[in-house]
Structure 1
Amino acid sequence: MSEQLIGQTHLNIGGKVLAAIDPSVYSESVAHYAAWAAHRLAAPLEYLHVLNRHPEHADSKDLSGSLALGAQEDLLKKLALLDESKCKLAQERGRLLLKHAQAIAQTFHGIQASSKLRHGSLVETLTEQEADVRLFVLGKRGEHADFAKGHLGGQIERAVRAVHRPLLVVSRAYTEVSKILVAFDGSPTTRKGIEMVAGSPLFRGMHVDVLIVGKEDEGTSQALEWALSVLTAAGLSNRGLVVAGDPEEVISLRAKEESTDLLVMGAYGHSRVRQLIVGSTTTSVLRACRIPVLLLR
């Protein structure tokens, strides 16, 4: 097995698990999956909550210009006090969210986690922290996402494109992971993903389904045989699946039909499968899958 290929995934090298916590319904699931991953990887765990620099100004309008000078000054003072109060409340809420996540890690997974409260942009903060990160963990949608329409959070889409470490995008409910599905097409990128799965303690003892979306032919059979042999050598039970159709639809459907706990996908390249996380179909797959998706960079 190629140590160089495995190392490029960053799951098998040093670094922490960094999980972004916000007030959305995904916060507990993020806390659980991050603690689960940190425990299996024997990696440090840190929970992060990012406060917008000036959230109090996001939807406000400045109406003070039409007021008399004295009234204007009085209004500005009141607004300043209100802004200060909002900031303090946001910070306190962030601290409580982080403490709750730490309690989940300790109570349910038996590990200690550190926490960090930062001001700024979530995506910028993640990229700034990247050098010390082994795995990012985020919820599928943030607190302002449109659940009625099933949209992904805009922050999540930007983070997927910005970071270069593996990124675990979690579902709303936490479920212990014992069976995973790997989207595979025989390319160097997805072969790297197979080697990562085989070599990472994150998946030790699990069952792995390897899915190729396409036509079954000699090339497909040889690629699948290679993938299964790597997994077998690592002691992982496995099965190969070749299904014709559109990757966007097939991957989500097979994940559901096979009762998969986690989907693993590669990031780069030009095939239909590997374009999923860099093109418009990223949103469709992440939205359709009701299980966590591990995106390899």
Structure 2
Amino acid sequence: MTQVIGCIDASRCAPAVCDYAAWASQRLSAPLTLLHVLDHRHYPVAADLSGNIGLGSRENLLQELANLDEQRSRLALEQGRGLLEAARERARTAGISEPAMRQRHGSLVDTLRELEEQIRLLVIGRQGEDSQSAADQVGSQLESVIRVMHRPVLVTPAEFRPPRSLMLAFDASATTRKGVAMLAASPLAQGLPVHLLMIGADSGENRSQLESAGKLLQESGLATTCAIRSGEIEPALHAYQAEHDIDLLVMGAYGHSRIREFLIGSTTASMLRTTRTPLLMLR
């Protein structure tokens, strides 16, 4: 059975990740699993140092190093379990009866690849525990996760606000047309007003494609508003979102037009840095 997976760490985004994951779990009627990964870069598994130059004959030093590694790993595991227990209690308070917990040691990206077939929605914070010094700093692994995942990814801010409306950035590409179909079929969007926004020229062709997508959403029971705006994509999206007080921004992770150019490369990180509401990336 596929499930909602919330990535929990020691960052300030972790409580919001738990809350958004619980919200999504309830709307999707999908089980919730809280995942904590001990990054091997910070907590390596025990290594054999006996062959290192200058260390082979220093048995006391080798033993001390091994003891330190073991102690650090044990403390990290205990901290991770504590984080998961706190997240589980928070999810229970939010109405999830039996949230599951999983703890892994290794790379976050590799772990998510292994679990991908079990994931219906991945929920992850915009900032991790290593990237909290600046408000606009994005987690070091976030873009890598978005690139490798073939499941929807919900990127959360540090504060939880139950979404009351959503906006899909539409460019008529195969990716965003698929996104429209996904929203039309998903319980996640049910009951939420949907804004379908295209950035580009207000031409007959663009208007026709936009209205066709809007009709599909309306036929699924979603209250839908269609709009076209000109200008640069990032500021135009933010301006419309602020104007209509939209809680949740939905985008195709990779398209085949201006939005594709916009999302690949440094501009991906730019959008993630400047977004202060949750961002749902569809694949």
Q: What TM-score results when the alignment is normalised by the length of structure 2?
A: 0.92
8 Å contact from structure 2 (residues 55, 61) kept in 1: no
1:65 CA drift (Å): 6.2
Alignment partner for residue 115 of structure 1, among 101, 104, 110? 101
Deviations 1:153-202 (A, max 9, x none): 12111101111111111111010111001000122221111121121101
1:141 CA drift (Å): 1.3
Deviations 1:248-278 (A, max 9, x none): 2211232233211111001233211234433
Instruction: Quote the residue 2:20 is aligned against.
Output: 33
Q: Percent identity?
A: 42
Instruction: Quote the residue 2:196 is aligned against.
Output: 210
How many angstroms apart in 2 are the aligned matches of 1:182 and 1:54? 36
Instruction: Quote the residue 1:235 is aligned against.
Output: 221
Instruction: Quote the residue 1:285 is aligned against.
Output: 271
Equivalent residue letter for 1:289: T
Say which SS state the counterpart of residue 259 (structure 1) adopts.
coil
Please list every run of 5 or more consecutive structure 2 residues that lacks an aligned counterpart in the other structure: none
How many angstroms apart in 2 are the aligned matches of 1:163 and 1:30? 18
Alignment partner for residue 260 of structure 1, among 227, 246, 255? 246
1:150 CA drift (Å): 2.1
Richer in helix (by share)? 1
Say which SS state the counterpart of residue 265 (structure 1) adopts.
strand
Instruction: Quote the residue 2:158 is aligned against.
Output: 172
Once the two structures are superposed, the pairs formed by residues 71-110 of structure 1 within 5 Å of their partners are: 72-110=58-96
Instruction: Quote the residue 1:3 is aligned against.
Output: none
How many angstroms apart in 2 are the aligned matches of 1:68 and 1:295? 50
**2:10 equivalent to 1:23:** yes
How many angstroms apart in 2 are the aligned matches of 1:284 and 1:197? 25
Instruction: Quote the residue 2:115 is aligned against.
Output: 129
How many angstroms apart in 1 are the aligned matches of 2:172 and 2:178? 10
8 Å contact from structure 1 (residues 228, 239) kept in 2: yes
Say which SS state the counterpart of residue 258 (structure 2) adopts.
coil
Equivalent residue letter for 1:286: L
State the Cα RMSD in Å.
Answer: 2.1
Mark the CA change 1:68 to 1:155 in structure 2 (over 3 Å): closer, same or farther.
Answer: closer
Instruction: Quote the residue 1:223 is aligned against.
Output: 209
Deviations 1:103-145 (A, max 9, x none): 1111113332101110110000001100111111111111111
How many angstroms apart in 2 are the aligned matches of 1:276 and 1:296? 15
Say which SS state the counterpart of residue 201 (structure 1) adopts.
coil
Q: What TM-score results when the alignment is normalised by the length of structure 1?
A: 0.87
Equivalent residue letter for 1:183: A
Mark the CA change 1:146 to 1:101 in structure 2 (over 3 Å): closer, same or farther.
Answer: closer
Please list every run of 5 or more consecutive structure 1 residues that lacks an aligned counterpart in the other structure: 1-13
Say which SS state the counterpart of residue 205 (structure 1) adopts.
coil
**2:164 equivalent to 1:191:** no
8 Å contact from structure 1 (residues 252, 285) kept in 2: no
Instruction: Judge which range, 225-234 or 98-107, deviates more.
Output: 225-234
How many angstroms apart in 1 are the aligned matches of 2:241 and 2:114? 33
